[in-house]
Amino acid sequence: MPKTITIRPNEKGLLALTATYKDHTGTAVTPATMTWTLTDVNGSVINSRSAVAIASISTSNTIALSGSDLATSGSNRDLICTFQGTYNHALGSALTMKESVRFTVENLVQVT
């Protein structure tokens, strides 16, 4: 189940999401690979944001969702951003890490 955040970006506004990566013990780690995908709650990809690679991976990265990423259709809309990647550890290479966050986009009465 995705974590839920209480920040509610406005329709076609801006939401900056910061992902902080930790290994299975809770220690900060720099992933070997990391992508993110934006979907609605039914799993439909939003604005072609599927498996978007994070180019300069660090122990934390911030992605910006804006414009068509945060579109609505006349009512508030719940979206999910899922981060997936791999990391290396003494226990093995290419160990998987996954996390998702759910948030609500505020519908505005008039947005162009």
pLDDT tens per residue, range 88-111: 999 999 999 999 999 999 998 776
Report pTM. 0.92
**Within a domain: 33:** yes
Q: How many domains does the chain have?
A: 1
Residue 93 has a pLDDT of 94
With tokens 């992933």, the residue in question is 31
**Within a domain: 32:** yes
**Within a domain: 66:** yes
Contact yes or no for 54/61 (Cβ under 8 A): yes
**Within a domain: 97:** yes
**Within a domain: 110:** no
| Selected residue with higher pLDDT from 111 and 40 | 40
**Within a domain: 50:** yes
Residue 57 carries which side chain, given as an amino acid letter?
Answer: I
Residue 1: pLDDT band with limits 50, 70, 90? low
Say if residue 33's pLDDT is above 90.
Answer: yes
Query: CATH number for the domain including 36?
Result: 2.60.40
- Taking residues 6-34, report their average pLDDT: 94
Residue 110 has a pLDDT of 74
d(CA 9, CA 16): 9
**Within a domain: 10:** yes
- Taking residues 54-60, report their average pLDDT: 95
d(CA 19, CA 98): 11
Residue (of 104, 107, 57) closest to 83 by Cα position: 57
pLDDT tens per residue, range 65-85: 999 999 998 899 999 999 999
Element (H, E) at 92: strand 92-105
Residue 73 has a pLDDT of 85
Give me the DSSP letters along 1-46: --EE----PBTTSEEEEEEE-B-TTS-B---SEEEEEEEETTSPBS
| Residue 99, domain extent | 3-105
**Within a domain: 112:** no
